[in-house]
Amino acid sequence: MNSSIATQIPAEEGDDDRAKRRQIIEGARRVFRDRGFDAASMGEIAKAAGVSKGTLYVYFADKLALFGAIVKCELRDQGINKIVIDPNEDVAVTLKKFGQGYMEMMCRPGGGSTIRTVMAIAERMPEIGRRYYEHVPAAWLNKLRDFLQTQVEAGTLDIDNCDLAAAQFMLSCQASLFLPYIFQVTPEPSSERIAEVVGSATRMFLKAYKAASAK
């Protein structure tokens, strides 16, 4: 695929076009979810969106451009700036809030279809995969790493590699939740179930990394 990422993920249009674009994107999201990227046709997408094929092509040149627009919406809706970390807050409280927010974002109703589609097409369209990773998982990972570093400097935590520690915590929060959800073995987990797993991840993390002087 020779298309640039700028072509794959179109820029925002004017106010008059946003409602129509959203209508088409939501129709495409349903078709991609039900049929998969390769099996979906522009005709099916137009029907699901309630527009003519001619109108569809006015807004999007092809399926890749449409999926790029869906990814762009995901990146905006999952913005890491929604998570505010207070460096003066108790470490356990902050980790629990962060883990809860992260897992509710990753396992939100309907959100798995986009992740599954990105995973399915990333080998052929690596720019889509890289863009999604950089703006969602990596953005959360980097924010947690920066928080851990401040706690190391404050003497609260004893961590040699904050990148690794942040990844360990985030993967611990996924335990028994994310893989069954993303492979459609189970529905999205409840907030209560997420809190239970995140609480366990927090306890394990602090047992491993809490500074001796802070215990």
User: Tens of pLDDT along 72-118?
Assistant: 787 676 656 667 788 788 999 999 999 999 999 899 887 788 888 88
If pLDDT is split at 50, 70 and 90, which confidence band does 3 have?
Answer: very low
Does the 5-75 domain belong in CATH 1.10.3720.10?
no
48 class by beta-carbon count within 10 Å (0-12 exposed, 13-18 middle, 19+ buried): buried
* Domain span(s) for CATH 1.10.10.60 in the chain: 5-75
Vertex 24 angle, CA 46 and 122, to 5°: 95
Give the separation between CA 107 and CA 165, rounded to whole angstroms.
22
CA-based torsion, 44, 48, 51, 56: positive or negative? negative
Position 7 scores a pLDDT of 37
Please check the confidence at residue 2 and state whether its pLDDT lies above 60: no
Give the separation between CA 26 and CA 167, rounded to whole angstroms.
32
The residue among 151, 159, 95, 118 whose CA lies nearest residue 33 is 118
Please check the confidence at residue 8 and state whether its pLDDT lies above 80: no
Q: What is the pTM of this model?
A: 0.77
Q: Cβ–Cβ contacts within 10 Å for residue 159, how many?
A: 21
**78-214 CATH pick, 2.130.10.10, 3.40.30.10, 1.10.357.10, 3.40.462.20:** 1.10.357.10
Could you tell me where the DSSP H helices lie in the chain?
Answer: 5-8, 15-35, 42-49, 53-59, 63-77, 91-106, 112-121, 126-135, 137-153, 162-174, 178-182, 191-209
* Domain span(s) for CATH 1.10.357.10 in the chain: 78-214
Q: Which residues, other chains included, contact 80 with Cβ-Cβ below 8 Å and sequence gap of 6+?
A: 139, 140, 143
The two three-digit tokens of residue 8, written as one number: 């794959």
Q: What is the pLDDT of residues 19-49, one digit of tens each?
A: 999 999 999 989 988 888 888 999 999 999 9
